[in-house]
Structure 1
């Protein structure tokens, strides 16, 4: 049915006057269950088919989307999209891929993006959520569980383009999460654990997730402000990917084209310490970001974004590549209601040789950050400031939990002063270990 819908969208676009067009159809369903105090708190189910259309006329483009896919609606969408495109500004970089650029292999089976096991019903999801909650409550020191939930979703996508490309895939996703609270009154502390996988057999146990949430909440009991000063900071692996995410955002072609990236002049320059590589691999099996082709029909391939510390490439779709006089890196991603834009799939960072515990011992006195909140980051200069919570380290050992502090630095300098640990986890789309960053500013007591 999705294939038929995309063909109908392309036909309607041609009849309305479009020179080129892309049509996307998505059939998705999702079930989510939340429990509290041993009882069902909230249940929701959503499913439906949505369609999107992008049309191009003489260097102009427009996108429309909708949930109604009747013949009359499809024709109306196409007419509106064409009218909008004719009123849009001209952009010479807009256009489809040449047919010889398109992916020939369009079979995503090898990526194992869909678990064929029977879909878990609401009762099974509720049982997982209850197991997670019970395991958290069983941890000594846990006062209550704010929320525990389990979810399942599946999604089928089909993309058709007027240059001859069409292809699609199915994806499934399981998830379990839990948020626990320790302490009393004004001294309550909250922490969280959650995991998601494409295949049910790859999921950790719901009780394991709940227990981890409880242990994390209890470990934060008695948190206070750290001292103010310049100290080394260890980004725990559960939040360290965010630090590398700032680098990935800065090498995104959209930011480079706008001139609003703190790495806009850094191509072929050192941006990470020697020996550290950031490798994108879109072909990892059972990873939610994996893809055999991008949103413009180009074949994806592994590539080094940073090699041995040296920046080697931007992340580009066709439009940003044309603006920069380069070739697309097959990085296009898109939703239903807009044109493609550059993105990344699975990114793997080189790990170090030391465990986080060994890095903590070496840092002597400093801060372990386990959660971040708020954000003040200048995308042009890389100036960085965030609220943080975690643990204070004295004499190479964890001394007490901390909260209500701010950490600050400059991303360009921070990334050149980092040391990776060896604890990256396999199931992260941005697979980054704990990172020790020297010489950051901590504003606390």
Structure 2
């Protein structure tokens, strides 16, 4: 394990790469090394279907010559001098980018916290196999479950080394463990499928394999015998937490500075204005200890702080990297993410903050409506906010879940949906995008 955690060799190599870039004629440069290790096992009907393992160390160099920028990537074993010279030559031949540069030196992290992102627990392939088999066995033991789509377990780690030409050098590593299972209930043309999964930074925090399997099986059985309800307008739709996290993801996408700069977000002109119902708060915090999407510094060496992205319904911040911030006349807020050599803004631990009523009370207050457990298709237009997706779930009658529903479509516009949300209190913050059960009034349901 020590050779995987130890980043000194990677930092030394990245620093040498930056130095060679400056000697080759770059005005500024930064180098990133991304390290990943992973193992996974998949099983189906009691037999191992696949075992996979991967290891990689990927380097990227970004150089600036005036306002011209170029990036190159390579695997271990490359010639540092050749790579640096190639990057500088590419930059000199590139068009000028008025917004491209490293983060301002005064914004760089001088120190950064230990967020406890790394769990040194060793999980063998045999242990992963046993967990996957246990999860599937528990699913198949549920009365009404007739088959399995398979189960899996995984363990991995990854991290980043960043060195810049203006004084930053840092590294961090994180781990990830996962379990999942998909169960089938019913027979013939009346089969239904559902799933459960868990993913955590620390192995001990994972839900037990048997619990995951049992939940997947029970969910699949509950979906047997679905009906297609009549078309209705102005209906309240309740989003299960799994679906609510996707809804929260639409919020994150709409307030991403890159989308605003490209004019592809329907909220691009709404800074400082109400974009959600009063009383709703949306936060983003990169510094959560053991947080699923925590990072002590971003892809440019800037430590971000917790932000109230939407406060009492009012939009307060975009997600910004250095270049995106400059394009919008603002400063980075430490949300830059490396994707290979490129840097773009993204959320960290993003949360649609919960309300103060229970899930049961929320459903009871709906009276008659539709509880969504699965969404199908990509029918969301982030330019206009138009929302239309296939859905399945359960009908709500007299404030209770009754029969399963499938083959319907729910539709509205995110602009209206954001102002029609009521939130329960059952948020699970161990996900990188977190949201509670939520109800949205005034949607259209297209059925038979």
TM-score, length of structure 2 as denominator length: 0.95
1:130 aligns with 2:133: yes
How far has the Cα of 1:98 moved from its partner? 2.4
Q: Match for 2:289 among 280, 285, 291?
A: 285
The answer to whether the 8 A contact 1:5-1:69 is kept is: no
1:92 aligns with 2:98: yes
SS in 2 for 1:136: helix
Choose from 55, 64, 76 the match for 1:68: 76
The answer to whether the Cα contact below 8 Å between 1:331 and 1:342 also exists between their aligned partners in 2 is yes
Q: What secondary structure does 2:29 align onto? A: strand
Which residue does 2:4 correspond to in 1?
none
Q: How many residues align?
A: 439
Q: CA shift at 1:157, angstroms? A: 2.0
Structure 1 residues not aligned, in runs of 5+? none
- Please point out which of 75, 84, 101 is paired with 1:78: 84
For the Cα contact (< 8 Å) 1:171–1:288, is it kept in 2?
no
Q: How does 1:298-317 map to 2 (within 5 A)?
A: 298-317=302-321
Q: How many angstroms does 1:14 deviate by?
A: 2.1
Secondary structure of the residue aligned to 1:132 is helix
> How far apart, in 2, do the equivalents of 1:60 and 1:372 lie?
44
Query: Structure 1 residue 66: deviation in Å?
Result: 2.0
After superposition, where does 1:434-445 map in structure 2 within 5 Å? 434-445=437-448
After superposition, the CA RMSD in angstroms is 1.3
Which of 389, 405, 410 aligns to 1:407? It is 410
Which residue in 2 is equivalent to 1:120?
123
Please state how far the C-alpha of 1:335 moved relative to its aligned partner: 2.1
Q: Distance in 2 between matches of 1:9 and 1:244?
A: 40
CA contact (8 A) 2:407 2:447 kept: yes
Secondary structure of 2:357's aligned partner? coil
Name the structure 2 match of 1:342: 345
1:75 and 1:188 mapped to 2: Cα distance? 60
Corresponding residue for residue 197 of structure 1 = 200
- Aligned residue for 2:102, secondary structure, equals coil
Q: Is the 8 A contact 1:2 1:27 kept in 2?
A: no
Question: How far did 1:300 drift?
Answer: 1.3
Distance apart, 1:116 and its partner CA: 2.0
Deviating runs (4+, > 3 A) in structure 1?
none
3-state SS of paired residue (2:333): coil
Classify the secondary structure of the residue corresponding to 2:14: helix
For 1:43-442, list aligned pairs within 5 A.
Answer: 43-70=51-78, 72=79, 74-106=80-112, 108-109=113-114, 111-117=115-121, 119-230=122-233, 231-336=235-340, 338-442=341-445
**Residues 324-359 of structure 1: CA distance to partner in whole angstroms, max 9, x if unpaired?**
1111111101122x3211111012222122222222
Q: Deviations over 1:207-241 (max 9, x none)?
A: 11111111111111112322211211001111102
CA distance in 1, matches of 2:443, 2:68: 46
TM-aligned CA deviation for residue 172 of structure 1: 0.7
Structure 2: 5+ residue stretches without partners: 1-8
- The alpha carbon displacement at 1:91 in A equals 1.3
